[in-house]
Structure 1
């Protein structure tokens, strides 16, 4: 029971992270020590699982796919997304600087702790870290696409965003932002339970996840240190997206009879020396401390 609750909390961390543009649920999975198990468990949805399901051997099926682990993670993720989405809608409107500062601290600390998992440093490890950093940082300067509610595009959004969500350092929410559908999916559809949007996104997410997990599991086993280095680079590069002191570049556009606004980028600045900056830095340090505590607790659980 304790393990189940622990996994639910880890799932909740993943869900909360996935709602924030620039933060990855995969980073939380890696930090809490469940990343490889999660990937291998998702990979278990194979032909054997289909055969067991078709022959109604549900006990063997649940053991094969580790339903206890997956259900705990799934409950945590879904509950967190449904609750955090509403909270963040308010926080981003009222205290955007402090929200960005908190998550900047979380991800900054994550770079250090994830990097510790690299066993042997080599030329390829360093090169992949630099590549990962460059790719993730470049995302900060791409202009988002237009919103598109067509079913084929929602399927693609679900698949791409879910693959990004499980990759540490690549934010599924930010990918949705770049694809033009963050507001539609993560805010409007979730808060209003719009199943016309959520169902195709969910189908795309499940399909993309099952296929991608098999590829990622193979890469992890074959090139462990290189994969960790690339993922650490992704996390480090994502700091460009999360820099707290920025103002959104907002463009208005016509959508039928309505005029809507869309964030197409950011103007970055250096912080001013004032009380607000002091509070933001304190919140950033709190994010660093939280990750350090999460990592320490995860290490203790591994040794018990």
Structure 2
């Protein structure tokens, strides 16, 4: 492997790290990062190549042919970056959400807003079908945003199911697996398993992730190939609609005590910074939040530049 290939896969590894970091935050999707860095369709294409047809190929031509068919180098670099990021940054991001939640949400708000504008610019917004699909995507995100967290029992079945659902969200720009884990009441379970290295829970979760990833990637890739314009419009709308999920200033209307004895929000409403300060008695920090929002938007420009450069090189 030459230096050019090494540099390419190093960049893929870094994009994987960005995807992993995004997926740790409830409300942000790793699929968003894949979408805006130009690797989204390659990611889906590689995943959908895992079919029973690989077994006769393995028998006829060996492991090397199978590795090429599934774009193994790309997937190894990408998932290596994702797993490294989750293991290395989950604690850091959890601390940041604990001590600087408004600034973290502001950062991702800027990233998602800039991403939505960037993607919408590439759509034919004067086409009726595109506008309907865009509206449906926004509506779907708004519906997801009003879901209430629930408590589910922690057993093999629920951990497998949580993995399958969370991983599907990971490859959907606009909603994160962490957010759906939060809705299912499984987020503290999985984060705790990562920090405490609970192998049993992690293996069950991983098996669920693999099953969900293989099934959903086939469906999503088929939709993009057969109905490209409306599918991309729905994904863009979903991404834009997810801004209501990551809006920094929220007022808790109803809370509950989870199984760990912790008080967690159940129903929240988005409010303006000045209303947030009046309702909660806490500083809105709007200047630092806006700076973080600008930083998130600037990061989009950097990621988009790298994605465009890589596509032109290839």
Structure 1 and Structure 2 fold alike (TM over 0.5): yes
Q: Say if 1:114 and 1:232, in contact at 8 Å, map to a contact too.
A: yes
Structure 1 position 191, deviation (Å):
1.1
Structure 1 position 243, deviation (Å):
0.5
Q: 1:266 aligns to what?
A: 268
**Residue in structure 1 matching 2:55, options 50, 55, 67:** 50
Measure the CA separation in 1 of the matches of 2:33 and 2:106. 17
Q: Say if 1:24 and 1:165, in contact at 8 Å, map to a contact too.
A: yes
Q: How many residues align?
A: 300
Q: TM-score, normalised by structure 2?
A: 0.90
Q: Say if 2:124 and 2:130, in contact at 8 Å, map to a contact too.
A: no
1:218 aligns with 2:245: no
Q: 2:103 aligns to what?
A: 98
The equivalences for 1:13-24 within 5 A come to 13-24=18-29
Q: Say if 2:152 and 2:186, in contact at 8 Å, map to a contact too.
A: yes
Distance change (3 Å), C-alpha of 1:136 and 1:2 = same
Q: 1:89 aligns to what?
A: 94
Q: 1:129 aligns to what?
A: 134
Structure 1 position 263, deviation (Å):
3.0
Q: Say if 1:120 and 1:225, in contact at 8 Å, map to a contact too.
A: no
SS in 2 for 1:145: coil
Measure the CA separation in 1 of the matches of 2:265 and 2:187. 10
Structure 1 position 292, deviation (Å):
1.3
Structure 1 position 54, deviation (Å):
6.1
Q: 1:290 aligns to what?
A: 299
The equivalences for 1:86-235 within 5 A come to 86-118=91-123, 121-185=126-190, 187-235=191-239
Q: 1:237 aligns to what?
A: 241
Structure 1 position 69, deviation (Å):
0.5
Distance change (3 Å), C-alpha of 1:121 and 1:30 = farther
Q: Deviations over 1:140-168 (max 9, x none)?
A: 22111104311111111111111111011
Structure 1 position 232, deviation (Å):
0.5
Q: Say if 2:137 and 2:237, in contact at 8 Å, map to a contact too.
A: yes
SS in 2 for 1:87: helix
Measure the CA separation in 1 of the matches of 2:123 and 2:153. 40
Structure 1 position 113, deviation (Å):
1.4
SS in 1 for 2:273: coil
Q: Say if 2:152 and 2:158, in contact at 8 Å, map to a contact too.
A: no
Measure the CA separation in 1 of the matches of 2:118 and 2:198. 38
Q: 2:74 aligns to what?
A: 69
Residue ranges of structure 1 left out of the alignment (5+ in a row): none
Q: 2:280 aligns to what?
A: none
Q: Say if 2:244 and 2:270, in contact at 8 Å, map to a contact too.
A: no
Structure 1 position 170, deviation (Å):
2.0
Q: Say if 1:140 and 1:265, in contact at 8 Å, map to a contact too.
A: no
Q: 1:2 aligns to what?
A: 7
Measure the CA separation in 2 of the matches of 1:275 and 1:85. 25
Q: Say if 1:170 and 1:238, in contact at 8 Å, map to a contact too.
A: yes
Structure 1 position 121, deviation (Å):
4.3
Q: TM-score, normalised by structure 1?
A: 0.93
Structure 1 position 228, deviation (Å):
0.8
Q: Greater CA deviation, 53-62 or 214-223?
A: 53-62
Structure 1 position 245, deviation (Å):
0.8
1:300 aligns with 2:302: no
